[in-house]
Amino acid sequence: MSAHAPSDDSFHGHAHFATPPPGVTVRHDWTLPEVRALYALPLLELIHKAQSVHRAVFQDNKVQLCSLLSIKTGGCPEDCGYCPQAARHHTGVKAEKLMPVEAVLSSAAQARAAGATRFCMGAAWREVKDGPQFDSVLEMVKGVKALGMEACATLGMLSESQAARLREAGLSAYNHNLDTSAEHYGDIISTRTYDDRLRTLERVRKAGISVCSGGIIGLGESVEDRCGLLLTLANQEVHPESVPINALVAVKGTPLENQKPVESVEMVRTIATARLLMPLSMVRLSAGRKQMNEEAQLLCMLAGANSIFFGDKLLTTGNPEYAQDMALLEKAGIRPMEPDMSR
């Protein structure tokens, strides 16, 4: 086996390679003009560049299926302008208690049976509070891992000790999106700073948990903001192992309810640029997929997306049906990743 050939057990939802294969360079010193120049390339040239890198790193033409469950819905004290779960927004989302551990693990088992290899649990909290609820989340993480799935959580801000406890429970990845550029962030959220988000990512990384961090396009940001978000992610000391790219799902009752839908081409450009900036990362085609036709979704995969969230709901917004997803992948000859019982 060559130094760069993937082994059977070297791919766990992230890159095949601990170091980049020949011809692929991993950088952490990108400049904004460089990122803007990539984003502005003629679309077919951009896709070709991104696909070339993608094929060099991810050689098995597989897509990871991820399932996301809202384990604690609504009542969040934050004011994120896009989020229907904020208590101050009148969206019809009712605050609910944390789900019982058994119910969450039942959902995880169903997701695994349907083909998911990663199960993400989302709680509408500003930050994690120590106590019985956090202890329940730790039990959920242990249970998901026992099913042979990657366990991911998004619970808001974390302390160092909480990150360490999640790691001890077996958490594979922690999702904490930057959402947009530092410059545009204050127009979207005022209850948590950009530095708060970066500090949480540092604590996750320090605890030895994989980082899942991306953003949302369609928040009224400029192209420079969009590139600034990707620049911040790509210039971290270690790239996020997972980079979800979301398109805003405008929900009535939120401050961003009247935003125009994101054009599919902009999703493709953002995904392709992310693939070029962070070649070893999983790039996840996330929220907003329901608004895209099959051809647009496949174009995103061609541009470097190799993970999708599936199921009928992403937290509180719709998502393509499972049968549709399976039919699309089958038509395209794209195989889902198999569960890895070693994780």
Q: Which among 5, 7, 10 has a CA at the least distance from the CA of 342?
A: 10
Assign 311 a pLDDT band (cuts: 50, 70, 90).
low
Which one has a higher pLDDT value, 10 or 186?
A: 186
For residue 142, count other CB atoms closer than 10 A to its CB: 16
Region for 115 from its dihedrals, namely left if φ exceeds 0, alpha if ψ lies in -120 to 50, beta otherwise: left
The pair phi, psi for residue 276, each rounded to 5°, is: -70, -35
Please check whether residue 276 is in contact with residue 230, taking contact to mean a CB–CB distance below 8 angstroms.
Answer: no
Torsion of CA 244, 301, 12, 281, to 10 degrees: -50
Distance of CA 252 to the CA centre of its chain: 24
- 227 catalytic? Reply is no
φ, ψ dihedrals at 119, nearest 5°: -125, 120
Task: Give 165-199 as a 3 state SS string.
Answer: HHHHHCCCEEECCCECCHHHHCCCCCCCCHHHHHH
Q: How deeply is 209 buried, as exposed, middle or buried, from its count of CB atoms within 10 A (0-12, 13-18, 19+)?
A: buried
Inter-CA distances, 190 with 209, 250, 268, 306, Å: 27, 19, 29, 33
Taking a C-beta distance cutoff of 8 angstroms, is the pair 328, 305 a contact? no
Q: Which amino acid is present at 226?
A: R
Q: How confident is the model at residue 256 (pLDDT cuts 50, 70, 90)?
A: confident
The verdict on whether 120 is a catalytic residue reads yes
Cα diameter, the chain: 58
pLDDT > 60? residue 17:
no
Contact (CB, 8 A) for 230 and 277: yes
284 classed as catalytic: yes
Taking each helix axis from N to C end, the angle separating 264-277 and 223-234, rounded to the nearest 10 degrees, works out to: 30
First to last CA, the chain: 24
pLDDT of residue 271: 97
Instruction: Give the tokens for residue 216.
Output: 């949302």
Is 284 annotated for ligand binding?
Answer: yes
Q: Is 212 annotated as a binding residue?
A: yes
Eight-class DSSP state of 311: S
Q: Write down all domains in the chain, each with its CATH number in brackets.
A: 32-331 (3.20.20.70)
Q: In the prediction, which pLDDT does 6 show?
A: 34
Give 91-148 pLDDT, tens digit per residue. Answer: 556 666 889 999 999 999 988 888 889 999 988 787 788 899 999 999 999 999 999 9
What tens digit of pLDDT does each residue of 200-215 get? Answer: 999 999 999 999 999 9
Q: Is the pLDDT of residue 45 over 70?
A: yes
Q: Catalytic: which of 66, 112, 118, 120?
A: 120
SS3 content of the chain, % helix, strand, coil (to 5): 35, 15, 45
Work out the mean pLDDT of the chain and round it to a whole number: 84
| 300 catalytic per annotation | no
Note the pLDDT of residue 338.
Answer: 74
Residue 120 annotated as part of some ligand binding site: yes
Question: Is 80 assigned a ligand-binding role in the annotation?
Answer: yes
Query: How many other β-carbons are positioned within 10 Å of the β-carbon of residue 11?
Result: 18
Q: Residue 5: which pLDDT band, with cuts at 50, 70 and 90?
A: very low
With 70 as the cut, is the pLDDT of residue 81 above it? Answer: no
Q: Please identify which of the residues 226, 284, 289, 300 carries the catalytic annotation.
A: 284
* Active-site entry in 212, 227, 269, 289: 212
Query: Can you name the residues that pair with 66 across neighbouring β-strands?
Result: 118, 309
Separation of alpha carbons 305 and 161, rounded Å: 33
For the CA atoms of the chain, what is the radius of gyration?
A: 19
**CA 122/CA 216 separation, integer angstroms:** 17
83 is in an annotated binding site: yes
**pTM of the predicted protein model:** 0.87
Confidence of residue 89 (pLDDT cuts 50, 70, 90): low
* Residue 66 annotated as part of some ligand binding site: no
Look up residue 85 and give its two tokens.
Answer: 């779960």
Which residues touch 47 (CB under 8 Å, ≥6 apart)? 268, 272, 299, 302, 303
Cβ proximity of 89 and 253 under 8 Å: yes
What single-letter amino acid sits at 81? G
